[in-house]
Amino acid sequence: MTKTTKATAWHSTTSGDDSPSYVWLHGWGQDSRAFDRLQPLLNGSGKHQRFDQPGFGKTPPMENNPGTAEYADTLADILKGSGPHIFIGHSFGVRVSIQMAARHPELVQGIIGIAGAGLKRKRSTAFKLRAFYLRTLGKLAHLSDQILGTKMRTRFQEKFGSADYKNAGILRGTFVKVVNEDLTSQAQTLKCPTCLIYGSNDTETPPEFGQRYAEMIQNAEFHELPGFDHWDIMTRGAYQCEAVMKRFLEKVATP
């Protein structure tokens, strides 16, 4: 039996009016305040809706460990009858934006993706062997817990789990789904104008992600901003992002 995901209202703040309409989606572990530095630079250019995605900020989590497809479907219900919108996302927010454009293209006028995630990294053989070893160790720990009543799985997660995984709490099921997804097939269906912005020093979502996305998406442009990482591109790099975004919006955001 397929589980259904109970929808929840998304908390949002709105500024400006008229068109174009912008939807801002933050990264994992953040909330809409992540755009406090960047979004005001576009004030006066239309209507801006900044959302707290489920499980972050003031929006409660959804049930049944949803993935980014369910996030997109729920947001599509909220936006139904409006738009189309220009989606501006950071990291995890880019994942949801790509799902929106793939699943609900009528709601998407364009995408600006900053440090977009959603692709598998190119890994060395040594890394793959270590990952295989850890997956096997995790399965054995889980089996030991089931058969012998140990707590090996918990110890394994405490020792080898990433900081994001350890801090995910009630969103842990969603986190596991998200980090294991590959949005290649969704990206290949996109037809909306897409602007991809990455920092040259980003180790979380390296610039090669943007280059690969640009090859997949029909109407995409890629920009690499030197000297910025995954996080400071949104703050210290706000003016550089603004310059790229405004040039892109001149072509896309026609009132």
The residue to which tokens 């990455």 are assigned: 198
So what's the pLDDT on residue 16?
Answer: 87
C-alpha distances (whole Å) from 148 to each of 129, 141, 144, 156 are 28, 10, 5, 16
Average pLDDT over residues 121-140: 56
* Burial (CB count within 10 angstroms: exposed 0-12, middle 13-18, buried 19+), residue 226: exposed
pTM, whole model, 2 decimals? 0.81
CATH of domain 12-120+182-252: 3.40.50.1820
Query: Residue ranges of the domains in the chain?
Result: 12-120+182-252, 125-169
So what's the pLDDT on residue 34?
Answer: 97
- The encoded tokens of residue 184 equal 């290649």
Would the pLDDT of 76 be above 90? yes
pLDDT per residue over 139-162, tens digit each? 665 666 778 777 666 664 565 455
pLDDT per residue over 182-220, tens digit each? 999 999 999 999 999 999 999 999 999 999 999 999 999
Residue 220 main-chain phi, psi, to 5 deg = -120, 150
Nearest-5° Cα angle at 189, 187 to 195:
50
